[in-house]
Amino acid sequence: MTDRYLSVDQVAELLGTTARFPRRLIEERRIRYVKVGRHVRIPESAIEEFVQARTVEPIRVRRGALRRVA
């Protein structure tokens, strides 16, 4: 297993958020984490899974499928 373990601050920087967001994800058990003594570490794969699960793909609409109503 070659997964890197990131601190809360590193995860926040990676996601472009404050440290409060990853802490909330941990508290609500919405993301996997590992406790190392009193420290909390988040595997990089857990971040990838979290982002992948919440990625919204664009809707592809055929031309002419949506018509304007006067």
DSSP, collapsed to helix, strand or coil, labels residue 43 as strand
- CA 49/CA 66 separation, integer angstroms: 34
**pLDDT bracket for residue 21 (50, 70, 90):** very high
* 66/6: higher pLDDT: 6
Report CA dihedral (42, 48, 52, 54) to the nearest 10 degrees. Answer: 30
What does the pLDDT average to over 48-70? Answer: 82
Prediction pTM value = 0.77
